[in-house]
Structure 1
């Protein structure tokens, strides 16, 4: 029931928020999000760190088709459930200084999306996974299309078409595997799909590999499926950008781990090198483009694209370190990128600009913002004792174990990442005060309420990464056994 509560509670709260008006909507949404955070914390502390699926629930959903509403949490799921329940409250609080028309609709859509995200990370049935995977797209599409920037309709339509196109491939793969399950009534249970997929010949596994890979690569996104991402991140309002970059893209990396690797191990064996090469190209390409950006939001969008490439490379290395690193990096990246996009939103609200050339000198009047910005930036460049270091170290180690030369190229991300992030901070915060940054006001209480916990997590996870690594390791080790058997 605990897993079901994590899914249903945001839906109920979202409906209440939808029916409310004004400040009541904000109060209900934020209270509901923090209650969901408490439920997530209870789940974390109640979880027994082994390879089993816990807090499970299963009942017939479409009995005649053998489709079940089957949910549960293992170590791999838990880290992403924690990310979702942890960050949504701060995304909601980050909107408190902004004026959105029909704010009750915005907050309701955020809560609906939270429910769908938890559903993705806890689904134990293939079609249920697909259902939540698609359901998460709808709220963020409307958030971006209604409250986005000048080109919101064009950009969000492109985003919607890209993701729907990728999901079609996943649906075809799931239907094919489903039809291969034995018995008069087929099943879409994920463990049954594992067995079916592994019994396919290498050629069939190759086709299934590409069907799933395209779906997840678009969602993350990976090179060359990334063209929707920068424009969507820039045009979307801050809450949508935070949801997309901080949590939603993890549906793709999670799908690689939960669906692709164990279903078609022979397909991964045949095409994994190609996937890693595409991932590493994305790391270098995204980093170089980020260095050249003049818009703060677009710079962070490309930095996120580069980070995802490293996560993907670690996953396809099929090593314990690579998979462990990808999971802890999903958590760290979600925390860091939400913090960075919120800081950009603060600067834009006060100066009406995100152009680096027009900014500067902000540090002279903002000691609090400066400290939080630097801490989050250092986490993003993976400074030792920050949250980004642990995941990036394990990821690079895993890729290095897979192939020394690919690992060396992927390691360039350390240098390039430092270049574009230090440039971001230096150009926006230091130097001479410009006309639009004169009298820049420091953080308000609600802004500190978002950035302080994020900065704390940057340091805390860097000092004590085993708080999550010991939870994910049994499930990851079992997954590797399934892949290599």
Structure 2
């Protein structure tokens, strides 16, 4: 029943939020997010002793062989925990900001959280698809209603990309469903189906393109920088911190076990595309003046490494990917929190207009340096262990792939340290001299991020233990 509450709490709170006024939606969103976090932590504790108790199945559409089947493995627990931690941090960071039609804004944010939780817990292919769309649809409205000046064409591009990917995935799901002996969408039926190699070869691309768009992987990435730049920063936090993990999760949960021959057949192509994305996005990030676009391209590079490591399919690489999905989410949301603080005070996001903030906001500057160093995987930060495992897995597969992907580490140091230099050091200007340091809520939210960075940087074993059985089951 705990697994159902992951979805039910934000879903009900989101629907109620549409009817509230004043500060009601803000307060309800924080209460809902904290309640979801408490339930998720309780489920994590129960998963260690009785994982079977977290499975839930109810009749849904029996005529189609689809059930409302939810469950948790180590990877799902970790991603649900990431989602449950992220939303309270987002809501606390923006608590002092007033949005037009706040009831709709917070309602859509909570509905998106419900969809994300459903994606990570679904053990029925049709249910997975429904939650996939439920997570994305609120984001369309959030971007188009509260985004920047170019929000309409950018949101349309985002819609076309994601809708096309969703249709490809739906075609693949329906085809596999027709090949099952009992006409069922259940996960166990899909994974036990032995499709012919030629079928898996073309089915792989239906699923991979859908998931590659969501991650995104080169060359399916062009919607992402524009969308991150034009979206409200809280929505960008959800997109880059959590939603991109839907694509990685989809490959691990549905492609590798359902289409193993197809994944083997096209592994090198997928790895090459991912590595191209690492180098390409890192080089573009160095050239950016807009801080939001710089972080957007940074995210493409980091996700590219994770996508490449998935298709290596050895123990180190998969453990590293699952650990890094959590760590990247925490780090990138921390960076977006800093962007939200700067943008809400100064109304600018170009680095050339900033500078000298260390003198006026020392607390924020310290947080920015720590989170930026975690984003380039400095030892003793949370990003180090996951990247080390992924590079170790890549080296075992092909040391040339590892060497080229390793350029991403050097380039990441260039663009992140350049960003630090331009934003918080140097000479202040009349605009930045008006900057005020963090509020209590912003300080608390960023403190949580930095605490996680150091705890998992020094002692990542609990997270590795959580996901290792999932890795072992996939490899077997």
Q: What corresponds to 1:163 in structure 2?
A: 162
Q: Spell out, residue by residue over 1:392-437, the C-alpha distance to the aligned partner (whole angstroms, 9 max, x if none).
A: 1111111111111101111111111111111111111100112211
Contact 1:333 1:380 in 2 (8 A): yes
Which range moves more in the overlay, 218-227 or 436-445? 436-445
- Using a 3 Å threshold, how does the CA distance of structure 1 residues 33 and 391 change in structure 2: closer, same or farther? same
Which range moves more in the overlay, 298-307 or 367-376? 367-376
Matched ranges for 1:58-457 at <5 A: 58-183=57-182, 186-196=183-193, 199-457=194-452
Contact 1:272 1:316 in 2 (8 A): yes
Structure 2, unmatched stretches of 5+, are none
Contact 1:33 1:89 in 2 (8 A): yes
> Aligned pairs, how many?
476
Cα distance in 2 between the residues matched to 1:36 and 1:284:
38
Contact 1:94 1:446 in 2 (8 A): yes
Q: Spell out, residue by residue over 1:290-314, the C-alpha distance to the aligned partner (whole angstroms, 9 max, x if none).
A: 0000000000000001000001011
Cα distance in 2 between the residues matched to 1:445 and 1:222:
38
Cα distance in 1 between the residues matched to 2:310 and 2:27:
40
TM-score by length of 1: 0.97
Runs (4 or more) in structure 1 with deviation over 6 Å come to none
Equivalent position SS for 1:224: coil
Query: How big is the shift at 1:321?
Result: 0.9
Q: Spell out, residue by residue over 1:130-158, the C-alpha distance to the aligned partner (whole angstroms, 9 max, x if none).
A: 11111111111111111000011110111
Contact 1:369 1:443 in 2 (8 A): yes
Equivalent position SS for 1:101: coil
Contact 1:49 1:470 in 2 (8 A): no
Cα distance in 2 between the residues matched to 1:13 and 1:200:
42
Cα distance in 1 between the residues matched to 2:282 and 2:293:
12
Query: How big is the shift at 1:7?
Result: 0.8
Cα distance in 2 between the residues matched to 1:31 and 1:58:
28
- Using a 3 Å threshold, how does the CA distance of structure 1 residues 49 and 215 change in structure 2: closer, same or farther? farther
Cα distance in 1 between the residues matched to 2:475 and 2:192:
15
Q: Spell out, residue by residue over 1:416-464, the C-alpha distance to the aligned partner (whole angstroms, 9 max, x if none).
A: 1111111111111100112211132111111112111011111111111
Cα distance in 2 between the residues matched to 1:449 and 1:432:
28
TM-score by length of 2: 0.98
Contact 1:49 1:474 in 2 (8 A): no
Query: How big is the shift at 1:322?
Result: 0.8
Cα distance in 1 between the residues matched to 2:89 and 2:32:
12
Cα distance in 1 between the residues matched to 2:251 and 2:475:
13
Cα distance in 2 between the residues matched to 1:389 and 1:210:
32
Cα distance in 2 between the residues matched to 1:90 and 1:109:
17
Q: Spell out, residue by residue over 1:110-132, the C-alpha distance to the aligned partner (whole angstroms, 9 max, x if none).
A: 11111110100000001111111
Which range moves more in the overlay, 28-37 or 228-237? 28-37
Equivalent position SS for 1:48: helix
Contact 2:9 2:35 in 1 (8 A): no
Equivalent position SS for 1:136: helix
Cα distance in 2 between the residues matched to 1:349 and 1:32:
25
- Using a 3 Å threshold, how does the CA distance of structure 1 residues 259 and 109 change in structure 2: closer, same or farther? same
- Using a 3 Å threshold, how does the CA distance of structure 1 residues 121 and 74 change in structure 2: closer, same or farther? same
Cα distance in 1 between the residues matched to 2:203 and 2:28:
44
Equivalent position SS for 2:433: coil
Query: Alignment RMSD, CA only?
Result: 1.1
